[in-house]
Amino acid sequence: RLIAKLPTIVAAWARLRRGDEYIPPRDDLPFSDNFLYMLTETVPHPLWSEVFDDCLILHAEHTMNASTFAGMVTASTLADPYTVVASSIGALKGPLHGGANEEVVMMLREIGTPAQAHAAVEARLNGKNKLMGFGHRVYKNYDPRAKIIQKACHEVLGELGIKGDPLLDLAMELEKIALNDKYFVDRKLYPNVDFYSGIIYDKMGIEVDLFTPLFAMARVSGWLAHWLEQLRENKLYRPDQIYSGEHDRHYVPIDRR
């Protein structure tokens, strides 16, 4: 039910908030077609639904990431699956995790053109700001999902006869700069899945603040798989904590402080 209903909820919210009527799901359409239809009232061009499907599959599961772990902690309390998914959504929202592709598109829009890419990277690094869509907690090489999405971006634009896309051109330039920059090379920072997925969604006309809900719509299948796995041999999570503060402190009543 959660896998089926999240797209309906996301599409309905996207329409209702701009004053449009909610469009009920169509049982005759495949998953991606149905979502895009509920969002736009149009059955998409097969190329868009294919590339959107690819994005959902690439986001569906990724082992022990922050949102999955958050869901598993909640699952270990034997909370219901809706609450498990609510916990996962909370952890997904931050810009270091699922919120990253939204940040990428905003960063690209702020930088503007490939000609400004070099200066923008330097300014970000000097200001100790991250280049969003780069780096990964586990991958210290090119995120294989980013390669697939980057290729899909080129293919879909090529097949639709769209020559050059400002965001994609700028993203490619940033990638080129970063892959040859000592800072990124030394730290093994490569583009991750979020660097290119936002560009596809943006090209499809999907609003930037829906990117994380799209991620949730895909990842809910992974979260629920881990929920089931957790229940198989459940033990309540209760991590140890190592106290590193001062010991033997004395309590001073407030009126004597």
Q: How far is the CB of 48 from ligand COA (least distance, A)?
A: 24
Place of tokens 């769209």: 162
Smallest distance, ligand COA to C-beta of residue 203, A: 19
Helix (H, G, I), strand (E, B) or coil at 191: strand
Closest approach of ligand COA to the CB of residue 3, in Å? 22
Instruction: State yes or no: is 186 an active-site residue.
Output: no
**Cβ-proximal residues to 92 (8 Å cutoff; 6+ apart), any chain:** 66, 67, 98, 99, 212, 215, 216, 219
Continuous H helices in the chain: 2-16, 31-40, 46-59, 66-75, 81-92, 100-111, 117-126, 144-159, 166-179, 182-186, 193-203, 211-232
Specify whether the backbone of 189 is left (phi greater than 0), alpha (psi in -120 to 50) or beta.
beta
Closest CB 249 distance from ligand COA, rounded Å: 32
Please name every residue paired with 191 in a beta bridge, in sequence order, or none if there are none: 134
Nearest Cα neighbor of 193 from 126, 136, 124 is 136
Structure tokens at 222: 């992974």
Task: Tell me if residue 194 is catalytic.
Answer: yes
Cβ proximity to ligand COA: between 26 and 187 the closer is 187
Q: In angstroms, what is the minimal distance from the CB of 121 to ligand COA?
A: 9
Nearest residue (CB) to ligand COA, 34 versus 150: 150
Annotated catalytic residue, options 33, 54, 136, 226: 136
CA dist 124 and 206 (Å) reads: 27
Residue closer to ligand COA by CB (options 15, 130) is 130
Q: Residue 136 or residue 219: which is nearer to ligand COA going by CB?
A: 136
What is the contact surface with ligand COA in residues (CB under 6 A)?
Answer: 96, 100, 130-137, 187, 189, 192-194
Measured from the CB atom, is 136 or 226 closer to ligand COA? 136
Annotated active-site positions, please?
136, 194
